Amino acid sequence: MTGYRLDEGGAIERSEQRRFSWDGRAYHGFAGDTLASALMASGERILARGFKYHRPRGVMAAGPEEGGALVTLGEGARREANAKASQIELYDGLKAFGQNAYPNVRFDLGRVNDLLGAFFAAGFYYKTFFGISGKGTWEWMQFEKIIRQAAGMGAASTEPDPDAYDIVHAHCDVLVVGAGAAGLAAAEEALAQGLDVILAEQDFALGPALLGAEGAIEGEDTAAWRTTRLRALSRARILPRTTAFGLYDGNVVGLYEKVTDHLAKPDPALPRGRVHIVRPRSVILATGAIERPFAFGDNDRPGVLLASAVETYLRRFGVAPAKSLALTTNNDRAYDTALTAAKAGLKTTLLDVRPVPPEERLATAKAAGVEVFTGHVPVRVKGRSGVEGLEIGTRNQAGEVTPTQTLYREAVGVSGGFSPAIHLVSHRGVKPVWHEEMACFLAGTPPEGITLTGAAAGIFEREAAVAHARAVSEAEGQRLKGRRAEPPRTRPGGLGRIEPLWEVRVKGRKLKSFVDPQHDVTTDDIRQAAAEGYASVEHMKRYTTLGMATDQGKTGGVVGLALLAEALGQSVEATGITTFRPPYTPVPIGAFAGRARAAHWRPTRRTPMMEAQAERGAHFTDAGLWKRAWWFATGPADTLEAAYPREAAAVRNTVGLVDVTTLGKIAVQGPDAGEFLNRVYVNGFAKLPIGRCRYGVMLRDDGLVFDDGVTWRLSENEYLMTATTAHAGAVLAWLEELLQTRWPELRVHVASTTDQWAGVALAGPRARTVLEKAMAEGDVSDAALPFMGLTRAEIAVEGGHIPALIARISFSGERAFEIYVPSGWGDALWRRLTPLVEREGGAAYGLEALGTLRIEKGHVTGAELDGRTTLEDAGLGRMASTKKPFIGAVLRQRPALTEAERPRLAHFEPVTEGERFYTGAIVCHPERIEGHGLGWITGVTLSPAFEGRWLGIGFVAGGHTAWADTELIVADPVRGQNTRVRVCDPHRYDPKGERMHG
C-alpha cells in the first residue's frame, strides 16, 4: 500500500547511498534523490499534518508547488520550518522532522480538529470570538493569544542565524530563468549569438523534467539532447539550485542560490546562500507550468498526487507511490503518465472526464494495459491515513455525477490542467489573461526585454516549445544588437482538448474537498466566502486564506477563483486572479541582510592614533562610523565617572592631549576660494590673511545654523576648512552643490582631506612647553603664533622629523594648539606627545572630558546645532555680517526666528549642591511643570572649573538674562525627578579669553 523503489530506472546514483534521519529514525536514499522521493521509496506516507484540521498529509507534488509534505529541517539555530520535502536535495546526515503534530505526524492528537471541522470554516475566528461577551476588542485579544498558540506551522529557530549570506551583483546580456527543454534551447541559442548568458534553475539538476524521459527532441534522443545542450552551455554562467524570486523595475531580477543546503560538510567559508541581483539586458522566462488538481472528496489523503508528479517520481527517481494507481484527468497529458506507470509495472487505471478522448491516446493506453474509464470522475478517496481506494462516478454533460463503484487503488494522480508559471512577469504589473481554450491564465503583453517561452507561454508540446525558445532567443539577440526582429508567433497548445473541471460534486452528498491543502481551504469555504459577500477574488483570498501559505496558491489558486466565479455566476475572466508578488518561493530573511550584520553591519572608521590610545587604556565610543577615545583608564578599577573630571582638570591645570582627527577637513582651493567662503559663512572671510585661522558658522538656506568650524588660510588660493565630525559629509556635499548649481562661475574646487590629516589638540597652560619640546623646527611663541595664528613646523619623532601644520585654536578655553600631520605619521605624533604631556603633569583626554571643557566654556556642538537653532539662539548673533550677503541671510530674519522669547543658550546649575539632572530633561517654570516647558538640556557634566559641581548646558526661553532672579525646574519625567536650578551666563568661564589668548 505504500511507495517503493523500482528495480531500475531513474536519474539517481544507486551506487551512492545517502543516509538521513526522519523524525529520529534512520533511512537511506541515493544521490539524486529528494527527501520526498527517498521517503516515498522507504514506504513513508504520512509526512505532515494539515494546518487546521491536522489531517494526515503526504507528498503531493515534485516541486515548489508542494502543499502536503511540509517538514522541519535541521536542529538548533539551523532549524527551518515548512521546508517542502520535494525540494530538499538528499545528503548524508540530513535530519528532517515532522511538524504541526503531537506527538508525531503519524499519530497526532490534533486530529480531533478534523471532527470539529464545522467550527473552523472561513472566518471562524471573527465569527466565534468577536463580541462573545461585550463588544470590545479586549476579549478578542485574549482569544487571539490562544489562537496564536494553536496556529502556525512548525517553529522557526529563535537563535541568531549562524550562517553567512552574500548579496552578489551580476550583469549579463540574457538571463534565462528555468533550465527545462525550452530554457536550455534559449540559452544555447543566445550563447551561439555571442551573448553573455546566465541560466538559473531552481532544481539541483538541469533539465529536471528531461531526466529519465523517453522520446526525442530535435531528432535526438532526449538524454543525449540534454547532454549536448549542457556541453554547449559550458561558457554560460549556470546557476543550479537558484530560484528567480522576483522581477523588478528595469528588469532587475532577484535570484536566490542555495549554496550549502545540500552539502553534508560544507566548507565553513562558503555562504549558505546568495542573493544575486541580476541586471540583464533581456530576460527569457522559461519557467514552465504547474499542474493543478481539481477538488473531490478527501482529495488531501496521503497518496493523492499531481499526475505529473507521479510521472516525475517514476521516471526521475525510480520510485512508485504504490503498486496500483488511479489517474484522473481532463486533458491529454495524464495519458503519458499512465503509459509510464503501466510500463513500471503499476496496475494503472485512467479516468478521463471527457466522454470522448482522442482515439489514438485511448488506443495506446489500452494497448499498454491501462484500464480507461471515459466520462468518469473521482468522487471520494477511501482510507484515512492513506489512499486505500477511490470511489468513482460518471459525469454527464450537465456536470451531474453519479457514483458507480469503488476502485481499490492505493495512489491517485490528478491532472486538472496546467497553470503556466507567469509569476515573475506579473511582478512587473502585467495582468494575466484568461485563455479559454487552454483553461489557464497566460501572461499579458510583457514589457520590453522580457519574453516567455515554453510551457510558461502556454506551449506544452516539447518540440514546439524548443523551437519557440530558439526563435525567441534569436529575436532577443537581434534586438540587443539594435536590429528589428519579429518575435515568433506560436499558438499556445499541446494539452489536447481540455474540459474545465474544478470540483466533483454529488447531489445530496457532503464531501470534504480541498482547494488549498496547505492552508486547509475547502470548496465549501470558497462558497461560504462568496455567500457572505466576499465577491472579489482579493477579498476571498484574505477571508479564506486561500493561497496565503508558503506555496502561495501555486496549485489551488486558479481552482479557488474558478469556484468563486461559479458561486457568483460569472466567468473566470471577469473574476480575475490575485496579484502575484515576490518572492516566488520563500527566501531566508538573513539572505536579504547579506553581510550587513554583526561586525559587518557597517564599516568602522579608525584614526591613526587608535592603536596607541588603546595601549594607554583608552575606552572607545561611536561617533558616527568613527571610533573615538572616550576616556583613558589609569587602571582596571578606573571608571568613566572618575576619569573624565580628572582629564578635564589636567587641561585646566597643566596640559591635555586629545585626538581630533575625526573633524571633517575640506580643502577649498582656487582663486575664488575666499569669495566662496565669504558667501558660505555668516561672518567675513574675504580678508582673512594667509597664515591665519577664523571660526565660522554656516547657515542653511532657511536661516538655521548648519555647521561651524575653523577655517585655515594656508596660501593665497588654498584654505583648509574644518567641519564638525557629525556634519563632515553633509558639509562637503553642500559645498559641492553650491558650486555646481548656484555658483558655477566661481573657480573653486573642494575635496575631503579628512583622511589626509591626523590631528591632535594640545591644550592647557603647559601646552606650549610640551609642543616646544617636541618640535625640531618652527616657532610657536606668542609673537610668532598668536591666537588664531597658523604656522608650519617639524616635529621630531622616533626615526626622523615629520611636517606639521599648527594652529593656535582653542575649543577648551585654554591656551591650545591644533597640530595636524599627514595621517601616516599620526601614530608617531601621538606616541611622541603623550610622554611629554605626562611629564608636565598632564594627561591624554577623551571625548567625555572634551565635552566637559566645552560645556564649561559654553561652546556649541551638534547637540545644540540640531537643525532648530538660530545664530542668536546659540549666542552667536553678533557674528553675522551686515556688510555682505551669505547663505541664509534673508530667511534668518523671519519673525519666528527673531523673537526674543526663543530658547537661547544658557548654563544651568543645581541649586542644591550634589544634585544632578540629565541630558534631554525639560526646563520648566516651577509653577508650570508640563509640556515642552521653557527649554531643554543638551549636555551635563561634573565641572572641575566650577568647583566640581554638576553643570548643564542647554536652552531656555529668553536666555539667561530673563531668569537672573528666578529659580527654574529641570524636569525629567522619564526618571521622575525634578531639580531646582539657577540659570547662568554660558560664557562665564574666562569671559575675556585671557587664558586662551594669554
Partner 1 sequence: MAEMLDLRPPVRSALAGHLSPRTLGQIGADGPGVRLYEHPFASLWQIAAWPERLGAAAALAADIALVEAAPGPGRAIAGSRATLLRVEPLKWLAVSDTPLAPPRTDGEATVLDLSHARTRLCLEGPARRDLLACLTAIDLRARHFGHGRVATTAIQGSAVTLACFGEGVELYVLRSFALSLWQHLLDVGAQFGVDVVHQAERRQAR
Residue 432 · residue 423 · CB < 8 Å = no
Min. distance of Cβ 598 from partner 1 in angstroms? 10
Residue number, 37 or 669, with CB nearest to partner 1: 669
Residue 229 · residue 286 · CB < 8 Å = no
DSSP class of 136 = S
- Identify residues 534-573 at the interface with partner 1 (CB under 8 A): none
Q: Give the H or E element holding residue 522.
A: strand 521-522
822 is a site residue for partner 1 (CB under 8 A): yes
Q: Which three cell numbers stand for residue 638?
A: 578606573
Which residues, 6 or more positions from 866, have their beta carbon under 8 angstroms from its beta carbon? 938
What is d(CA 791, CA 674) in angstroms, rounded to the nearest whole number?
A: 19
Q: Which three cell numbers stand for residue 429?
A: 504589473
Residue number, 337 or 662, with CB nearest to partner 1: 662
Min. distance of Cβ 188 from partner 1 in angstroms? 20
633 is a site residue for partner 1 (CB under 8 A): no
Which parts of 533-690 fold into alpha helices (H)? 537-544, 556-568, 572-575, 589-593, 610-615, 640-653, 673-680
Closest to 580 measured CA to CA, from 419, 435, 418, 422: 422
- Identify residues 579-608 at the interface with partner 1 (CB under 8 A): 595, 599-600, 602-608
User: The dihedral of CA 743, 705, 628, 796: what is its sign?
Assistant: positive
**Quick one: which segment of 24-32, 270-278, 520-528, 629-637 binds partner 1 (CB under 8 A)?**
270-278
- Amino acid identity of residue 730, one-letter, is A
Beta bridge partners of 719: 668, 713
Min. distance of Cβ 741 from partner 1 in angstroms? 14
Binding string to partner 1 for residues 606 to 625, with x set by CB under 8 A, is what? xxx--x-------------x
Residue number, 1 or 796, with CB nearest to partner 1: 796
Phi, psi of 5 (to 5 degrees): -85, 135
**What ranges make up the beta strands (E) of 653-730?**
656-659, 664-669, 693-699, 705-715, 718-723
DSSP 927-958: TB--TT-SEEEEEEEEEGGGTTEEEEEEEEET
**Quick one: which segment of 92-100, 125-133, 643-651, 826-834 binds partner 1 (CB under 8 A)?**
826-834
Among 114, 391, 827, 856, binds partner 1 (CB under 8 A): 827
Among 329, 340, 552, 823, binds partner 1 (CB under 8 A): 823
Which parts of 744-894 fold into alpha helices (H)? 767-774, 826-839, 847-857
Residue number, 171 or 932, with CB nearest to partner 1: 171
Q: Which three cell numbers stand for residue 871?
A: 545664530
Residue number, 172 or 876, with CB nearest to partner 1: 172
User: The dihedral of CA 434, 437, 440, 446: what is its sign?
Assistant: negative
Instruction: Say if residue 103 is preceded by a cis peptide, omega within 30 of 0.
Output: yes
- Amino acid identity of residue 602, one-letter, is R
Residue number, 773 or 988, with CB nearest to partner 1: 773
What is d(CA 763, CA 310) in angstroms, rounded to the nearest whole number?
A: 83
Residue number, 497 or 600, with CB nearest to partner 1: 600
Among 131, 155, 171, 615, binds partner 1 (CB under 8 A): 171
Min. distance of Cβ 796 from partner 1 in angstroms? 9
Among 824, 867, 885, 926, binds partner 1 (CB under 8 A): 824
Closest to 258 measured CA to CA, from 54, 511, 45, 73: 73
Closest to 167 measured CA to CA, from 266, 283, 254, 78: 254
Residue number, 268 or 482, with CB nearest to partner 1: 268
Residue 521 · residue 556 · CB < 8 Å = yes
860 is a site residue for partner 1 (CB under 8 A): no
Q: Which three cell numbers stand for residue 540?
A: 476571498
**What ranges make up the beta strands (E) of 42-97?**
48-49, 56-57, 70-73, 80-84, 94-97
Residue number, 35 or 758, with CB nearest to partner 1: 758
Min. distance of Cβ 340 from partner 1 in angstroms? 41
Residue number, 83 or 658, with CB nearest to partner 1: 658
Residue 844 · residue 647 · CB < 8 Å = yes
What is d(CA 703, CA 868) in angstroms, rounded to the nearest whole number?
A: 10
717 is a site residue for partner 1 (CB under 8 A): yes
Residue matched to cell numbers 503531537: 102
Min. distance of Cβ 623 from partner 1 in angstroms? 12
747 is a site residue for partner 1 (CB under 8 A): yes
What is d(CA 969, CA 781) in angstroms, rounded to the nearest whole number?
A: 47
Binding string to partner 1 for residues 217 to 256, with x set by CB under 8 A, is what? ----------------------------------------
Residue number, 355 or 800, with CB nearest to partner 1: 800
**Quick one: which segment of 262-270, 955-963, 970-978, 981-989 binds partner 1 (CB under 8 A)?**
262-270
Binding string to partner 1 for residues 770 to 809, with x set by CB under 8 A, is what? ------------------------x--xxxxxx-------
Min. distance of Cβ 853 from partner 1 in angstroms? 25
Residue number, 7 or 267, with CB nearest to partner 1: 267
Residue 309 · residue 209 · CB < 8 Å = no
Among 271, 280, 449, 557, binds partner 1 (CB under 8 A): 271
Among 28, 616, 749, 980, binds partner 1 (CB under 8 A): 749
State the number of binding residues for partner 1 (CB under 8 A).
Answer: 57
Q: Each residue of 885-910: b (16+ CB within 10 Å) or e?
A: ebbbbeebeeeebeeeebbbbbbbbb
Among 340, 490, 754, 861, binds partner 1 (CB under 8 A): 754
**Quick one: which segment of 18-26, 537-545, 661-669, 806-814 binds partner 1 (CB under 8 A)?**
661-669
Min. distance of Cβ 270 from partner 1 in angstroms? 5
Binding string to partner 1 for residues 279 to 308, with x set by CB under 8 A, is what? x-----------------------------
Among 1, 6, 147, 167, binds partner 1 (CB under 8 A): 167
Q: Which three cell numbers stand for residue 809?
A: 585654536
Query: CA angle, 510 as apex, 507 and 513 as ends, to 5°?
Result: 105
Instruction: Say if residue 986 is preceded by a cis peptide, omega within 30 of 0.
Output: no
Residue number, 196 or 499, with CB nearest to partner 1: 196
Among 368, 751, 879, 889, binds partner 1 (CB under 8 A): 751
954 is a site residue for partner 1 (CB under 8 A): no
Please give the distance of CA 359 from its chain centroid, rounded to a whole number.
54
Min. distance of Cβ 256 from partner 1 in angstroms? 15
**Quick one: which segment of 451-459, 745-753, 765-773, 921-929 binds partner 1 (CB under 8 A)?**
745-753
Q: Which three cell numbers stand for residue 631?
A: 576616556
Min. distance of Cβ 847 from partner 1 in angstroms? 16
Which residues, 6 or more positions from 344, have their beta carbon under 8 angstroms from its beta carbon? 6, 9, 314, 320
Among 26, 118, 269, 637, binds partner 1 (CB under 8 A): 269
Among 296, 706, 757, 886, binds partner 1 (CB under 8 A): 757
What is d(CA 805, CA 785) in angstroms, rounded to the nearest whole number?
A: 12
270 is a site residue for partner 1 (CB under 8 A): yes
| Footprint on this chain of partner 1 (rule: CB under 8 A) | 164, 166-171, 196, 267, 269-271, 277, 279, 595, 599-600, 602-608, 611, 625-626, 661, 667, 669-671, 717-718, 747, 749, 751-757, 794, 797-802, 822-828
